[in-house]
Amino acid sequence: MFSAWDWAIVAAYIAGTTLIGHHLKGKQHSTRDFFLGGRNLPWYAVTASTIATTISAVTFIGVPALVYAADGNFVYLQLALGGIIARILVARFLVPLYYEKEFYSPYEYMADRLGPVVGRITAGMFFLGGILGQGVRVYATALVLELITGWNLAESIILISVFAVLWTWMGGIAAVIWTDFVQFFILIAGGVAALVFVSGALPGNWSTLVEVGQQAGKFTTFDFSTDPRFAFTFWAALIAMPFQNVAVYGTDHLFVQRLLCCRNRHEAQKAVLWSTVGELVPVLMLTVGAGLFAFYQFNDLPADLAQLVAERGDRIFPAFIISEIPTGLKGLLIAGILSAAISSLDSILAALSQISLTMFYKPFIRPEAGEVHLLKVSRLLVIFWGAVLAVMAWQFSASKLDLVTLAFSMTTYTWGPMLGLFLLSMIARHFRVAGIGRSVILSIVVVLIINEPEILNPVFGTAYESPLLAWPWLFPIGTLCCVLAAFRGPLKEV
């Protein structure tokens, strides 16, 4: 069902993006060039790259499935509130801190304030969170390739990982950002094309989409429930999700690395604030989900695809692309999905490589190494982390969670304590902190017990089967546990 013309479009996308990234990457003479783009990248490219990385294949595939589900609606959109609040806070308070010195990562900033041990603890949590979170995104895209090619899941994962490694190897973060810049427009075009086609295929076109969606309650956006076991509520978006988003845009090196590539602090702040435009992409993909729901009120899925969708609801959008989208446009949509996936993957590979080199390899293994050697090691680390992420993506194939929940829940263990340590580093000049290692462990353990309460059943004879709280609330809980456990009061005046 995937024609030669479709493959030609996908191949042209891959070749064109590669050439653009190679042409614009600039010189790569040092690790500063490889990891910070020489600190000479324009803010608009950083903004587009940030959005492209945020809008991964999980958004492109998983968000439409949320609306298409029997009880699905637009409540996911409430989470944008936390993102908007967080970007303002990051631009106002965090970005200036990173430009005090030439830091290569937020973990170098924390090490500067709290000591090298803390820097390495946060770097270790970044490794864990990056592998878990981005592994889900690789898995999401492999689900699509599996459907359109007939390859098995392992082969699909390997193909995605190989291309991401090649693009990152090619030119470091500069190549990543410029390829992301192109991918941003590809994935937007793909989402718009899907919405235009699905609405046009309905009797009555757009008016039918709206009418069917309204009758089914698909456009319900706000949920003011106070039940903390529900993830997509207004209160979770307003109170809990700012913690998650500040951790993402302010402490996760996957995103901070981009800000550090800007020419100065003001351009970095502009890049953060303008990335708020990215919140419109979930609106687009939620509407696509409503369109899919309306379309299948008048049409039937082919039997073989219906069985696959019944096994995993996240397959509905790829199934629609394969069975309904015409030749040519089908290739564009698959290119959009690949854009979203590879954008996230090559970004995390660049970040993991940098942290491995600057926080561990250079200080402990070759402190006297020159730039030529370190640049070579950086590229080898890209290959290593590419293999690790591929293995992790394969592990997620056994999960029964939907892609959105799986992606977010995997990060609850690390983003809370990472933000906690960053807050501690900010107040360290005026307040005493101690027992940081224990505070991180406590934070992770508390989140683990809330997420997986059944581990307590053998000990206490309880019968817990599901998380005690929805995943958004785990971010503030993890942050506060870390901060309160390490806080020792104001410094004594000498």
Q: Tens digit of pLDDT for each residue in 399-414?
A: 777 777 777 887 888 9
Single pTM value for the model: 0.84
382-388's contacts with Cβ under 8 Å and 24+ in sequence apart are 382/165, 382/168, 382/169, 382/349, 382/350, 382/353, 383/165, 383/169, 385/348, 385/349, 385/352, 385/353, 385/356, 386/161, 386/162, 386/164, 386/165, 386/168, 386/345, 386/349, 387/161, 388/131
Output the average pLDDT for the chain: 85
Task: Return the percentage of the chain with pLDDT > 90, whole number.
Answer: 36
When comparing pLDDT for 97 and 25, which is higher?
97
Identify the helix (H) or strand (E) that includes residue 263. none
CA distance 473 to 85: 16
- Tell me what pLDDT residue 378 has: 83
When comparing pLDDT for 141 and 394, which is higher?
394
- Domain parsing of the chain, residue ranges: 4-397
Expressed in angstroms, the distance from the first to the final Cα of the chain is 76
**pLDDT score of 28 more than 60:** no
Q: What is the pLDDT of residues 289-333, one digit of tens each?
A: 999 999 999 999 988 888 888 888 888 998 898 888 888 888 877
Of 49, 264, 47, 61, the C-alpha closest to 168 is 49
Q: Which CATH number fits domain 4-397: 3.40.50.300, 1.20.1730.10, 3.40.50.1370, 3.40.50.1860?
A: 1.20.1730.10
Which of the four pLDDT bands, split at 50, 70 and 90, describes residue 419?
very high
Average pLDDT over residues 452-470: 83
